[in-house]
Structure 1
Amino acid sequence: MSERTYTFPTTSALPSAHRIPVNDTSVQRTLGKISRPALINLVHEWLQPHNLPTCRPVLGEQDENTDSVYDLHQTIDEVRQTYDDFRTRRGNKREVVDRILDGDWRNGVSLRQLAMADVQYLMEHPNSQRWVALKLTRARAPLKEKQQNQNKDGTGKGQETQKTTTSPEKEIHLPRFEAPVFLHSLQSQIGSLLKAHYHLTHLPSLPLTLLRIAVLDSPYSSQTALQETTGDMWRTLFIAFPDNSPYVYVAVASALGGPNGPDGRSLRSLVVDAIPKAFSKPRERYSLESTAMSSKTLGALLIARGAGRTNAAGGGWSLFAKGTLEGTPLMVSTSAYESDEENQVLRGKQSIQANTSKTRKRPLSIRESTQLLSKKRRLLAQDRFGASGLPDDNQGIEKLSIRIEDAYPITTPTQRTAQAAFLSKQKPSTADKPHIRSRLTLDEPSFNASDDAEEEEEEEEEEDDDDENENQTNKPWKPHVAITFHGTHVFAGIRALVECGAVDGRTMPGWMTGEDGVSLGVVREGKIVRSKGDGA
């Protein structure tokens, strides 16, 4: 009697040593998009002693296939020397990929190797993903629970005021990011629904921890289930955790599989919803809130939604956040951050203006006046943008969408008259309507109470209509205005427009300089309206 095998869903993660065949499309696509120098560095990383248990190559005594084109090596040092030779001599990327897939790793590439390859590609192309910043906050208790707690305590408004005073202290306390504990909690949340492989690494160039999650749309982790999977069944998601910060960066687009389909979006939302649950504890529940900030550059998110001093100091205030200027904004002078050349220009200009009444100066030539005007605009752009908005700072955003909900400014009587005429056409006034009943004259002896009541009601309706028309006339007109900037570095482009004179830097609003640190917002009364998750 043959034994029956049963497969049960589990919450365990996929093993890092699981091998994927080299002819799989995901393996060839992942290795094929990495450059030749980065691929050689990646192989050397695979051959490190701490990575050999999951990334070991096929050696000569382990090979069962004698029909291979490449001769296998006997030791790890010989394999390492082969890829050192690739580094010293010229060649294309194809020969390195063929050596990996048809030679040293012909039996398959492990999940850990693919994860390291994706991270290598992300470090080589930092703008390949679009990231959205989310803020981890304390979840508010429902209103019914608060009322029940107050009824149980038997306290009135004093207890409610006590809770409101202690709630900010509770919001300040956020959980620390402990990688093993967080991964264990995340597996328990999504492990029963789908299988995933987790890879954690700390990027050497940025102060953040990167989590790569390769999701398989299956709750089974047996060898039979894994062998039946193909590259199209994998979805990859990147999540970044900045050091000492309550923010979480989630990649909208993924590198492996089909991220733009409905299945990819549902799997991504499932993982994102499980992140605050993994941080939560009994009586300490957390949630993720939007911060209206997205970018393709992790450096821009670290500046606007990180752990540094630049979260609420964008634009011209960046000089104080980065320590370029000492003291406070109330103690600053323009000469503190101007170069020597600019100081000489300004001093010369001031001396010329001081001596104008005594000596007649010659008129400036067109070239001199143009140079002086360009320097003036450059200093104005430096005042408004500070140390931000530079083309090579790697901190730019690609899209800035703003909706303006301010009233149209009316300054002249002609504009007020035109607005009143426009609003009067929208709704006709009651003065133009014929009266249904006229007033009674004194000569008439009839004094009916019902007639007087009807007349009073008509007079009240006329007064209400007049007040309504007057309010509509005085009500300011709010046009629907939406502005969207596109580019590789939006604020660097706006700064260039200020320097060339296309944008007036003196009257330009602050949100055009990046002071608010948002990529999507609403302007009311000239300022960005911040939601709950925005800001520092």
Structure 2
Amino acid sequence: MPPKPGAPLPNTALIPHTPSTRRLLSRLTKDLLLELVLSSWLDPAKTETYQPNFAPVEDEDDDDDEDDDEEGGRGIEKAREAYEAMKRRAVKGKEVVERVVEREWRDGLNLLQIAELDYSYLLSHPATHKWTASTLHPLNRPTPHTPPPTPRFHAPTFTSALAATLRPLVSTHTFLTRHPTLPLHLLRLQLHPHPPTPPLALPPPKRIFWLAFPTAAPGYVYHNIPAGGGDGLRDVVRESVAAAVSREHGRFELRASAMCARTLEALCFYRGGGGGEGGMVGVWSVYAEGVEGGPLDVLGAKRGVEVVQGEKGGEEEKRRRVAEGRFGGGARVGDGRGLESVEFVVEDVFPGDGEEGEEEEWRPSVGVKLEGAHVFAGVRSLVEAGVVFDGVKMPGWMTGEGGVSFGMVRDGVLVKRRK
């Protein structure tokens, strides 16, 4: 029985093979694809979910037909042996893909398999998407006796509410899991036209979204839903996310913050939610280490070092310690938390020429944009080398402690954020 128009699509709904599905398979390495096939798709307890086809292939040799067992010659044990042999032999990933497409899953891949392929690629290529850290802002005005509502994320409830909110417009398929290394709930949302007409087709990338909910920061939602662009459906998805979290007497809206990154590790580090110093970065990172005392006392005890002035080794060590104090445990090459671009608009008062009667101040807008594989790691390296940046006088927004990747600086202080 076909699903109702707009109703959630089941995991077992098939998508016939196309160049797009083959591309999903080919993106994974041979080892990753074999691990997925052997650990999940050919699990004897999950054959009803992944629906492998063990019937003989029409163009197989007669010799193969003689060895067929009563399930069609390629029962689950024989199929597992074949993939295990590929794992041991020096075969190319293309051969694994061809076997998947031409044998066990020649009828197509179901929606759960499509989602798992995408999820495996996300874990092996964490910089695949551009992530935005958004906040769930309460719409209910708090009273002196009523605190503002706190968003509560319950994965099954949210998934059902999101599908129900989008149901009048599209048919949805959701894939919910936990990130293996970060304290995040991950939700993959795939949108199909309604009513869904068989055979289903894999939607374009702009109709597939990822949402991440930090378990330790319930007010944040990390997502890869682009803003603007004239795509009304994306706006509907953002509004539906907030509506799915809302409840009676506690309504929310999704507001983008001034932080974008290429990896979830970077967002968790700079915005909180685990995977780093809990959003306390730069000079504030000492508090994430569980120390006590005032900022100056802490810095003196944790970051201070005696150096011999005038000696080369002493100056190098001094710069290294200054960089450690300004950047803390972050901003290191290869730490997986890099921001590829940061941009600020500086509006400071420009010194006047001293003419009498001059009262109007001049605040020119000066754009500062830094780009690279890991911007703050590059700034830290320059501080340690004593080139360009003075680690002592450098403003905090240049070290990442503001937790933003773009914003406005006025009189040396990050006072306003803008897109």
TM-score (normalizing by structure 2): 0.88
**1:180 has 2:156 as partner:** yes
Task: State which of 329, 334, 354 in structure 2 corresponds to 1:416.
Answer: 354
Q: Structure 1 residues 515 and 232 mapped into 2: Cα distance closer, same or farther (>3 Å)? A: closer
Per-residue deviation, residues 476-495 of structure 1 (Å, max 9, x unmatched): 21112011111111110110
Q: Give distance in 2, aligned partners of 1:104 and 1:300.
A: 39
State the secondary structure of the residue aligned to 2:361.
Answer: coil
Superposition pairs for residues 27-426 of structure 1, below 5 Å? Answer: 27-44=21-38, 45-49=40-44, 51-60=46-55, 63=56, 65-67=57-59, 73-140=73-140, 164-167=143-146, 169-171=147-149, 173-175=150-152, 177-216=153-192, 218-221=193-196, 225-227=197-199, 229=201, 232=204, 235-245=207-217, 246-252=219-225, 265-308=231-274, 310=277, 313-323=280-290, 325-332=291-298, 334-337=300-303, 346=306, 349=308, 369-409=311-351, 415-417=353-355
Q: Structure 1 residues 261 and 67 mapped into 2: Cα distance closer, same or farther (>3 Å)? A: farther
Q: 1:434 maps to what in 2?
A: none
Query: How far has the Cα of 1:282 moved from its partner?
Result: 2.5
State the secondary structure of the residue aligned to 2:354.
Answer: helix
Which is greater in Rg?
A: 1
Query: How far has the Cα of 1:335 moved from its partner?
Result: 4.9
Count of aligned pairs between the two proteins: 407
Per-residue deviation, residues 219-249 of structure 1 (Å, max 9, x unmatched): 213xxx1316465598211111111321101
Q: 2:410 maps to what in 1?
A: 524
State the secondary structure of the residue aligned to 1:318.
Answer: helix
When the two chains are superposed, the root-mean-square deviation of aligned CA atoms in Å is: 2.9
User: 5+ residue gaps in structure 1?
Assistant: 142-162, 254-258, 354-363, 421-469
Q: Give distance in 1, aligned partners of 2:194 and 2:89.
A: 47
Q: Structure 1 residues 86 and 139 mapped into 2: Cα distance closer, same or farther (>3 Å)? A: same
Query: How far has the Cα of 1:334 moved from its partner?
Result: 3.4
- Confirm or deny: 8 A CA contact 2:140 2:148 kept in the other structure: no
Percent identity over paired residues: 33
Q: Structure 1 residues 124 and 204 mapped into 2: Cα distance closer, same or farther (>3 Å)? A: same
State the secondary structure of the residue aligned to 1:237.
Answer: strand
* Mean CA deviation greater in 237-246 or 73-82: 73-82
1:394 counterpart letter in structure 2:
G
1:387 counterpart letter in structure 2:
G
- Confirm or deny: 8 A CA contact 2:211 2:222 kept in the other structure: yes
- Confirm or deny: 8 A CA contact 1:127 1:297 kept in the other structure: yes
Query: How far has the Cα of 1:41 moved from its partner?
Result: 1.0
Q: Structure 1 residues 166 and 50 mapped into 2: Cα distance closer, same or farther (>3 Å)? A: farther
Per-residue deviation, residues 364-414 of structure 1 (Å, max 9, x unmatched): 8xxxx443332222122112111121112211211111011221245xxxx
- Confirm or deny: 8 A CA contact 2:15 2:201 kept in the other structure: no
Q: 1:357 maps to what in 2?
A: none
Query: How far has the Cα of 1:319 moved from its partner?
Result: 2.3
TM-score (normalizing by structure 1): 0.70
Q: Give distance in 2, aligned partners of 1:311 and 1:233.
A: 32
Q: Structure 1 residues 260 and 164 mapped into 2: Cα distance closer, same or farther (>3 Å)? A: closer
User: 5+ residue gaps in structure 2?
Assistant: 66-71
Task: State which of 360, 381, 384 in structure 2 corresponds to 1:496.
Answer: 381
Q: Give distance in 1, aligned partners of 2:299 and 2:200.
A: 69
- Confirm or deny: 8 A CA contact 1:215 1:234 kept in the other structure: no
User: Would you tell me which structure has more helix in proportion to its own residues?
Assistant: 1
